[in-house]
Amino acid sequence: MSAKPISVATLAAMKARGERISCLTCYDASFARLLDTAGVEAMLVGDSLGMVLQGHATTVPVTIEQMAYHTACVARGRERALLIADLPFLASATPERALANAARLMQEGGAQVVKLEGGGHVVETIRCLTEQGVPVCGHLGLLPQSVNLIGGYRFQGRDADSAQTIKRDALAIQAAGASLLVLECVPAALAQEIGQTLAIPVIGIGAGAGCDGQVLVLYDILGLNPKRPPRFSRDFMQGRGSIMEAVADYVAAVRDGTFPGSAETTY
């Protein structure tokens, strides 16, 4: 593991070399130190904390104050991995609001990249953020903050029209200046096509092995999900002697392309 801090430029160079990027969610300093040591390239302070830490049914109740707090906790524990933080529900409803909340995540929390969900309607917000020097990660496919609108956690992009919309939005997000894109719960073939089309790294979650990298919820790979874990995840604690070993094996599986496998992929 190189001790050199990772930037968005580092991830872009990894994509250019065909090297896969490993990312996990992280919510505190102790796990941040562990993930750094295990070699992940990026940590995502996800609003998933509302579900795995706070016990909510969705990510919607999470506030910007909570996101800034947990981002600061992770920032105090990490030294190397790129630190990405979610803009929570309605925190990016307007470009002005997104700028103010991104400033909180970066100035109070130490985030290096902010992530926001959505397609065409957030393109102007992404452009506004990047013009002010804020690195942005887009998020397409299943949008957890919109779960009440779409009626559940459902795979997206299965039909030709919705797949075309996701591809069009991905290109628009890149053109607006985003440095990264997360694709969640879309068919593997669609994700691979988008990854091959875009110049920026595409990180998948439930989107097959054809992406430039993978991200999972840390608690899922440690078998700490009290409910049925997502089909696209894998319990890396099985057969391992420690959390460090489990995380290191996840990193290795992403890098060598053995995760996700066919059992974790929707075609």
Catalytic residue list contains 79: no
Q: Which of 79, 184, 193, 264 is catalytic?
A: 184
Count the neighbouring beta carbons within 10 Å of the beta carbon of residue 189.
Answer: 14
Non-local CB neighbours of 150 within 8 Å, separated by 6+ positions: 143
The region, left, alpha or beta by phi > 0 then psi within -120 to 50, assigned to residue 133 is left
Rounded Cα gap, residues 92 and 106, in angstroms: 15
206 close to 12: Cβ distance less than 8 angstroms: no
3-state secondary structure of 123: helix
Rounded Cα gap, residues 267 and 27, in angstroms: 31
Query: What are the residue numbers of the active site?
Result: 184
